[in-house]
Amino acid sequence: MHWSKQLIPTLREVPQEAEIPSHQLMLRAGLIRKLSAGLYTFLPLGFRSLKKVERIVREEMDRAGALEILMPALHPQEIWENTGRFDVLKDVMFKIKDRQERKLVLGPTHEEIVTDLVSHEINSYRQLPVNLYQIQTKFRDEIRPRFGLMRAKEFIMKDAYSFDADWDGAEKSYQAMYEAYKRIFKRCGLRTKIVEADTGAMGGSSSHEFMVLADAGEDGLVECGSCPYAANLERAESVLRSAVTFDGAEKMPEVVATPNRRTVQEVSNFFKSSPARLIKTLIYMADDKPVAVLVPGDREVNEIKLNRALSAKSLVLADNPTIARVTGAPVGFAGPVGLSLPIYADHKLKGYQGAITGANQADAHLVNVDLERDAKVTQFVDVTSAKGGDGCPRCGNGTLNEKRGIEVGHVFKLGTKYSEKLSALYKDAEGKEHPAIMGCYGIGVTRTLQAVIEQCFDTDGIIWPITIAPYSVEVLVINAQHAESAKVSVEIVAALKAAGIDVLYDDRDERPGVKFKDADLLGIPIRVNVGEKSLAKGVVEIKMRKTKELRTVPVAEAVNKILSTIRELNDEING
């Protein structure tokens, strides 16, 4: 493809709308353009890379035995109501009424739709297992679309859904996807960290996320320095490394006047104590009933964990009048001692002695509190997030490090949540009906594309992995007016194309500096400079984008050298 016939609107300036490197580079290299908040057009070069990612995804899904289908983006709202998920996801779903006033939604995911399909088309164990996937456009009404393709209102996802007759089979299906995902991201040139994750709105028993470590990542995670344990912050467990026994551990509780000291900061300053010594007491309404939740003073409640721990349908912080009524004190002075509410204490509080808590009276705290001795803890639960510096819950020795990541893939064991509600039943050999056991598996295809750039760039621009570069090779004629240079360039381009290589030929009549800068920005892995001076010596230059290595090669050997370099780059990624 001649550059002059392609649409590659590169930008010199960093666009104001873009905060993170990958978003800036996608705009600057002319890969995408914004139509509106969270809505992007793929320009030709962005589209080419997108198709290459899709192709890798498709090949690996097919190799794993999954069957490709295509489901509609528009869904009857009713089917979402049938599983109760309309209520869970209604804020994030775009809702539509058609001209007959029928309620439709744009699908943010497809568990309901695929399960409904399977409920009609599959009825025997002989038809199982089956794994159905699609590469399809999803829509989500994000509160804050940002970072380009990272969090968009419209994006391309690969979603797969496995149906098995038994739990062993479901486990195999899950493992097959887990392995396929590893291969997919590797082939895209992406280094991912696989972490344990929460199942969230999806339901199901367990899940893993494929994360790309990046400062711009929206997800937090911890990983152990000593063992393979790694988990999403929503999910991660940890053990406390810091002390649980404080001064006064052996004494009995004592009321201390703490006028107007309400916050952890105010109280710990007052007592000249570390915040960790405090037991923070929060009053929640769980299914409209008040409960007390205790966490160390230096930790926050992780409401995802709390939700799971209480199995509550609704969970909100109590309002001030309720707090005053159930604790007998204004806000800021609640504590577990003498409290006649169900008390859920974070497991990190186990063994807390000599602690400070609210006294359940205005302007007063208790010191010398031994939690288990002095309060009636209903249950110890895991309701705080892990932090860097905590101990590893798996190996016990290691220390957890906190990182930021971009979630590019997610695999879930769903169990029978959907197949039961939507009657995706199969008959076993005896003719008895059972719900199929499901898994679901997602890859953010457009997000993956951008995540590669977030991981592969330098100050000059993108450094594409050859497997998903818009073109494998760029031939750059230094002076387009020089007949011999143009002739040699065209010959190299033609020979490469004949060998099945996708080549971009920068034939523009621009200054070499402009063309070099654009080439670095675009980040095509292999660049061939064809110039008058080199040709006078019978050579062309081959420049590697990643290493910046510059090789001089006789014209006659150029094509073979490029082909072998392409093979090397591919082997580096796939090997």
Taking CA atoms, 52 is separated from 45, 49, 468, in Å, by 11, 5, 5
Please identify, among the stretches 5-13, 18-26, 429-437, 524-532, the one whose residues bind a second copy according to the rule CB under 8 A.
5-13
Which amino acid, residue 325? R
Please identify, among the stretches 6-14, 187-195, 406-414, 532-540, the one whose residues bind a second copy according to the rule CB under 8 A.
6-14
**Should residue 556 be labelled a site residue for a second copy when binding is judged by CB under 8 A?**
no
- Alpha-carbon Rg for the chain, nearest whole angstrom, is 29
> DSSP 3-state assignment of 507?
coil
Please identify, among the stretches 64-72, 244-252, 270-278, 422-430, the one whose residues bind a second copy according to the rule CB under 8 A.
64-72
Longest CA–CA separation in the chain, Å: 95
Report the DSSP pairing between strands 39-42 and 32-36.
antiparallel
- Pick one of 17, 19, 74, 537: the residue that binds a second copy (CB under 8 A): 74
Report the DSSP pairing between strands 130-139 and 461-462.
unpaired
**Should residue 445 be labelled a site residue for a second copy when binding is judged by CB under 8 A?**
no
- Pick one of 59, 82, 88, 141: the residue that binds a second copy (CB under 8 A): 141
Partners of 529 in beta bridges: 476, 541
Considering the complex, state which of residue 42 and residue 380 has its C-beta at the smaller distance from a second copy. Answer: 42
**Should residue 9 be labelled a site residue for a second copy when binding is judged by CB under 8 A?**
yes
Q: Are 467 and 189 in contact (CB under 8 A)?
A: yes
Please identify, among the stretches 61-69, 243-251, 432-440, 467-475, the one whose residues bind a second copy according to the rule CB under 8 A.
61-69
Q: Are 399 and 207 in contact (CB under 8 A)?
A: no
Work out the burial of residue 449: count CB atoms within 10 Å of its CB; fewer than 13 is exposed, 13-18 middle, 19 or more buried. buried
Report the DSSP pairing between strands 539-544 and 550-554.
antiparallel
**Should residue 154 be labelled a site residue for a second copy when binding is judged by CB under 8 A?**
yes
Which amino acid, residue 524? I
Residue 75 backbone phi and psi in degrees, to 5: -130, 145
Distance CA 188, CA 122 (A): 34
**Should residue 15 be labelled a site residue for a second copy when binding is judged by CB under 8 A?**
no
> Least distance in Å: CB of 154 to a second copy?
5
- Footprint on residues 110-139 left by a second copy (CB under 8 A): 113, 116-117, 120-122, 126-127, 130, 132, 137, 139
> Least distance in Å: CB of 470 to a second copy?
12
Query: Which residue intervals of 102-235 are DSSP H helices?
Result: 111-121, 167-187
**Should residue 147 be labelled a site residue for a second copy when binding is judged by CB under 8 A?**
no
Cα-based angle 476, 477, 483 (whole degrees, multiple of 5): 160
- Footprint on residues 324-383 left by a second copy (CB under 8 A): none
Distance CA 223, CA 392 (A): 8
Distance CA 118, CA 344 (A): 41
**Should residue 81 be labelled a site residue for a second copy when binding is judged by CB under 8 A?**
no
Distance CA 546, CA 351 (A): 54
**DSSP tag of 452:** H
> Least distance in Å: CB of 86 to a second copy?
15
Only one residue has tokens 């999806």, namely: 202
- Pick one of 12, 13, 16, 70: the residue that binds a second copy (CB under 8 A): 70
Considering the complex, state which of residue 11 and residue 395 has its C-beta at the smaller distance from a second copy. Answer: 11
- Pick one of 15, 44, 225, 554: the residue that binds a second copy (CB under 8 A): 44
**Should residue 532 be labelled a site residue for a second copy when binding is judged by CB under 8 A?**
no
> Least distance in Å: CB of 366 to a second copy?
44
- Pick one of 15, 17, 41, 320: the residue that binds a second copy (CB under 8 A): 41
Considering the complex, state which of residue 116 and residue 223 has its C-beta at the smaller distance from a second copy. Answer: 116
Query: Which residue intervals of 401-541 are DSSP H helices?
Result: 417-421, 445-455, 483-498, 512-522, 532-536
> Least distance in Å: CB of 523 to a second copy?
20
Q: How many residues bind a second copy (CB under 8 A)?
A: 52
Please identify, among the stretches 99-107, 287-295, 414-422, 491-499, the one whose residues bind a second copy according to the rule CB under 8 A.
99-107
Considering the complex, state which of residue 162 and residue 268 has its C-beta at the smaller distance from a second copy. Answer: 162
Give residues in contact with a second copy (CB under 8 A).
Answer: 4-7, 9, 33, 35-36, 39-44, 47-48, 50, 65, 67-76, 91, 94-96, 98-99, 104, 106, 113, 116-117, 120-122, 126-127, 130, 132, 137, 139, 141, 143, 153-154
